Amino acid sequence: MTAFDDTSRAATDTATGIDTATDTKAGRWAVADRCGEDDVFPAEAADPHCLRPGEGTRLLRGAPWKRFAVLGDSLAEGLGDPLPGYRTAPWADRVAAALAGTVPELAYLNLGERGLTASQVRRRQADRAAAFAPDLVTVVCGGNDLLLPGFSPEALDRELDLLFSRFAGPDTTVFCYALANVAAAVPQLRGGPLEDGVALLNSVTRAAARRHGVLVVEMYDHPAVADRDLFSADLVHGSARGHAVFAAAAIRTLAAALPRASSSSASTHL
């Protein structure tokens, strides 16, 4: 698979001043956010499920968050296939870029690592993320648990409880994803174990999120989920279009929570 691999990611980081493994200012992301001009990425600019150039920053105007941490597996890391007409940028980088447009002092830490289960995410990343002292956190994991023999929804629920409780609080906003239903785009998968498994994974994630006041970015039945080009060739990760759509959904979810987030109270989370 041709992916947003380590080489392309490193080049992106150098160009924008972002280091996803350290505490790094993201103030120059305004330059990256301007990389969405119609003449450069025409398909993305015309896509009704993506954001227009600068729209993410406008939606997040007034956001209180200054330290954004990402924990999780390859979905958090940002793997995916390029797609002509779309900017090759992972969803989390896109969210950080939009936020940095309104919060120039933003610091951004992405700990996402491919292949990790929820337990491994907690053991390897939670302490590092906590040391970063984030006020905006996203946790994206569970997909690898689902793919292992003997998947236990109860075990995943316990791990998500531990992860969410570590970060959710009056001064920190946490969000996660209900994963897209890839079977909607691939008829051969409909009604099969993958579709059922993703639905179960999402139900566990939503339940844990409710208990801890964590925002959920709903992708399972997103209007674009039946489009095959939303996904990479492996049918696991998003394509460049998928990442643009995932980022747009996250930004809109965060923007909808802004009045409560700005109040710095426990009621900030949906």
Domain that holds residue 21: 6-268
CATH number at residue 141: 3.40.50.1110
| 90 lies in some domain | yes
Q: How many domains does the chain have?
A: 1
| 1 lies in some domain | no
Calculate the CA 249 to chain-centre distance: 9
pLDDT tens digit sequence for 195-251: 999 999 999 999 999 999 999 999 999 999 999 999 999 999 999 999 999 999 999
| pLDDT of 261 | 53
pLDDT tens digit sequence for 70-108: 999 999 999 999 999 999 999 999 999 999 999 999 999
Give me the phi and psi of 142, to 5 degrees please. Answer: 115, -25
Alpha-carbon distance of 105 to 28, in angstroms, equals 9
| pLDDT of 260 | 54
| 87 lies in some domain | yes
| 177 lies in some domain | yes
